[in-house]
Amino acid sequence: MQKKNKGALNLAGLVLFLLALPFFFGMGGGAFAMAEVLPGQAAASFLPYTEKTESLSAKVFGTKDVEFSQTPAVTKGGRTLSVSAEEMARLRDFSYLRSSYYIIDSRTALLPSDIDAEEALGLDFSIKKTTKEPKILIFHTHAHEGFADSDMSKGLSEGIWGAGEELKRILEEEYGIGVLHDDGQYDVVNGKGQITGAYERMEPPIRKILAEHPSIEVCIDLHRDGVGDSTRLVTNINGKPCAQVMFFNGLCRLNKNGTTQAISGLENPYLKENLAFSLQMKKAADALYPGFSRKIYLNAYRFSLHMLPRSTLIEVGAQTNTKAEIWNAMEPLAKALASVLTEQ
């Protein structure tokens, strides 16, 4: 009888917990429940796929992408900006900037005080090129993300980690920038796929790498997106089918009925630099390869962007892309990165 009552109490507790979930999410409890899981990122190749539907998970402020105008550049502080005077005038309008360059998750909000386009495009992110020591760290919070024709039983090289190896090769061989590529597997616990908590598990070893290699100035957390099965994120560059890329930022605050509130414990001292860095890379990609870069995605949480000013999270294609499309994308991505980091 005692065991039966205990079982009934456990069942009642479970029911109450499930009924309370919507309440906790409405009050920001999602920060705990989600553990900073990217939209669409729970779809590592060995896990059940969770579809990302932007129309449900995000507010899209404007849907028409801006075509880059190949006109003379303007300068600020001695640094050349890949933007025309006409476009800079438009970028000073925050509504235009927000609608033309960003997709903003409904759980957060981009504020005018977050980013001044002229200031952001004028920041100097250039680094000194060398292959004698690493200048860029590439890592993968979700190392087991695979693609349409990946056979992840053959190893990490079949998925996003393999794409990171190709990006490393191009940056070193073609642009003379030393890269350290981390092979940590933070989406695995005791041999089993575990997305939840990956960002918390990632940070100590990544900080250790940064401490051991003070020459590193750039952190790239490389992912692939998760989309509906009918969505194909592909463009053509130099006659090759290439997966599109998306630069990603976390704003470290929730939007509650139109009022923003910082998420305690998820602060980022480099938020302004992160936003400027992604905007510069978006502009560089648009200038070099129109249609290659999707709009910048802004989420409420912090993810892996708080350890260096030059930190970025990049999603390359999605689970519906082929490996060839992903690998082909590494060349234009490397060129866009080099154009920001070396003023090429």
Report the pLDDT value the prediction gives residue 18, as an integer from 0 to 100.
54
The predicted pLDDT at position 258 comes to 81
State residue 11's pLDDT score: 59
Contact by Cβ (8 Å): 332, 242 = yes
pTM of the model: 0.79
Say if CB 144 and CB 155 are below 8 A apart. no
Structure tokens at 317: 């294609």
Kindly tell me the sign of the dihedral angle through the C-alpha atoms of 70, 72, 74, 79: positive
- Judge contact between 293 and 337, C-beta under 8 A: no
Reduced to 3 states (helix: H, G, I; strand: E, B; else coil), residue 193 is strand
Cα–Cα distance between 1 and 186 in angstroms, integer? 44
**Tokens representing 89?**
């005038």
pLDDT of residue 257: 83
The pLDDT value given to residue 83: 77
- In the chain, % helix, strand, coil (3-state, to 5) comes to 40, 20, 40
Residue 320 is classified by DSSP as T
- At 82 the pLDDT is 61
Longest distance between any two alpha carbons in the chain, whole Å:
83
Per-residue pLDDT of the chain (344 residues; tens, 9 = 90+): 444 455 555 555 555 555 554 444 443 334 333 444 454 443 333 333 232 333 323 332 222 332 323 333 333 333 445 678 899 999 999 999 999 999 999 999 999 999 999 999 999 999 999 999 999 999 999 999 999 999 999 999 999 999 999 999 999 999 999 999 999 999 999 999 999 999 999 999 999 999 999 999 999 999 999 999 999 999 999 999 999 999 999 999 999 888 999 999 999 999 999 999 999 999 999 999 999 999 999 999 999 999 999 999 999 999 999 999 999 999 999 999 999 999 65
Question: Considering just the CA atoms, what is the radius of gyration of the chain in Å?
Answer: 21
Q: Where are the beta strands (DSSP E) in 96-244?
A: 102-105, 136-139, 179-181, 188-189, 192-193, 218-225, 234-237, 240-243
Q: Which residues share a beta bridge with 193?
A: 188
Phi-psi region for residue 77, left (φ > 0), alpha (ψ -120 to 50) or beta?
left
Complete DSSP assignment for 8-76:
HHHHHHHHHHHHHHHHHHHTTTHHHHHSSPPTTTT--TTS------HHHHEE-S--PPPPPP---EEEE
User: Which tokens go with 73?
Assistant: 């550049």
> What pLDDT sits at residue 175?
97
